[in-house]
Amino acid sequence: MSNSQGLDQDVCYRAVKSRDRRFDGTFYTAVRTTGIYCRPSCPAITPKRTNVRFYPSAAAAQGAGFRACKRCLPDATPGSPEWDIAADVAGRAMRLVADGVVERDGVEGLAGRLGYSSRQLNRVVTQTYGAGPLALARARRAQIARVLIETSPMSLTDVAFASGFSSVRQFNDTIREVYASTPSELRGRRFSGSASGSIGTRIAVREPFAFAELLAFLALRAVPGIEAARDGWYERSLRLPHGPGVLRIEGRGDGYVGCRFTLADARDLAPAMERTRRLLDADCDPTAVDEALSGDLAALVEARPGLRVPGHVDGAELAVRAVLGQQISVAGARTLAGRLVAELGEPLALDGDHQVTRLFPSSTALAEVDPESIAMPRARGRALAGLCRALADGGVVLDRSADRADVRTSLLALPGIGPWTADYIAMRALGDPDAFLPTDIGVKHAAERLGITDVGTASEGWRPWRSYALMHLWAALSSPATDQEDGDIR
């Protein structure tokens, strides 16, 4: 028996009986007799089969009148991996909802970004997730509010507006309806010691989580001025809808990563958190990925369980840096990007104790730069100029709202953009879990060490997680290659 969203109710019930955490976020269990919905791994006594129904999203469970369980906190579970993986219009809509587009532009604006009417979009999203864009946005606001209430020292009024509610009354009513508790009751104890103008919170992640490897990847590529990294922390500037911000990743616990945000406008907290989730690849299902790759990559997976594909907080910035790094070393790409930041980056102008000082230059600013003035080969300079013009005029969109295949086609149509660059952008800027770079020198060297003679053919067996296979191959190199056939900013 399946419900209207394609969930097999009997399969879901077997998963609930196993209390397997791998299913957390992929569906939600609602108990008719208690009016509560839970994550599949909830430690409570398993309800009778006749008393439960299953929903594909927290918003769908809430829309059916169920409240979040206070024991397993189902809203604290990262969003379903399908939200981040699906390349269809519903998946792209979900990513924009998570980034706060509904709060900023309404459902009409969301639909316009996707090329649909609001009526069409509501039908498609409801069929997939059991709730429309407004309900999904409301559930997301409630989730962010709960995290802020329980992990930050912000006043409840500030929490209301930072999480996207239009009024304190709406905030109070929603929290009471979703959690059967008032905001004051959820708070429990207050936190202290927050720096002025900064918000400390945490991002939920699925375990296992290779945190040290992710930080090392980011630190190796940190561009002076916009990024800084030391042992155990990473910091970078953010260009957000209402102003600049700074993100600092500062440690982790079981199932979460600690973060601190310094923002010019508290309304940007939700999109800042969502972009941090992308950077951390927080919605990855690591157990499913590791199991799928535990064939000829078993030794690599065993050495680094839960290895992530680092995303990026700004698709346009990532694309520019990809072109800058074509055919030069990681260090060379970082140096060249640092010069652009120093010359064209906007001063951060944000109070607070942070190591970063500037924002990465906007696509519009870079499109106006004479490519001859940049210390790089002329052909690559022209490629950079063409990319920046396409980004500035909307010919290429890298905010995860566009179809990945269409974006790849648009990128390859630009002079100087080859498959390596297009697929690297798809992997990190668009969150494509199945991108692969068979011509990459590092990939070839790592495959040779494993005795894989034809890595392109072998990679077919790693679908749909080839991006993660790629990260394992790169991580396996004791000393990364310094040059690539079509780029090197690994």
Catalytic residue numbers? 38, 440
56 Cβ contact partners less than 8 Å away, ≥ 6 residues apart: 5, 6, 7, 27, 28, 80, 128, 129, 130
Q: In what order do the strands lie in the sheet with 36-38?
A: 52-55, 28-31, 36-38, 67-68
Largest CA distance in the chain: 71
Measure the CA–CA gap between 429 and 247, rounded to whole angstroms: 18
**67-68 vs 36-38, strand pairing mode:** parallel
Determine contact, residues 390/425, Cβ cutoff 8 Å: no
List Cβ neighbours of 28 (8 Å cut-off, separation of 6 or more): 37, 38, 39, 40, 54, 55, 56, 57, 58, 60, 61, 74
Which of these, 443, 402, 395, lies nearest to 419 by C-alpha position? 443
The alpha carbon dihedral of 358, 364, 368, 372 has a sign of positive
CB 483 within 8 A of CB 454: no
Alpha-carbon gap, residue 209 to 72, rounded angstroms:
20
**Region class of 401: left (phi > 0), else alpha (psi between -120 and 50), else beta:** alpha
What are 123's two structure tokens?
Answer: 């039908």
C-alpha 138: how far from chain center:
19
* Number of neighbouring beta carbons within 10 Å of residue 121: 23
What tokens were used for 312?
């990026």
| Sign of the alpha-carbon torsion through 139, 141, 145, 148 | positive
Q: Are 366 and 397 in contact (CB under 8 A)?
A: no
Q: What value, to the nearest 5°, has the Cα angle with vertex 161 and ends 247 and 29?
A: 85
Distances in whole angstroms, Cα of residue 380 to Cα of each of 187, 322, 376, 416: 53, 11, 7, 6
CB 418 within 8 A of CB 448: no
The amino acid present at 484, given as its one-letter code, is Q
| CA separation for the pair 118, 102 (Å, rounded) | 12
The three state secondary structure string of 13-26 is HHHHHHCCHHHECC
Q: At 448, list the tokens.
A: 């040779």
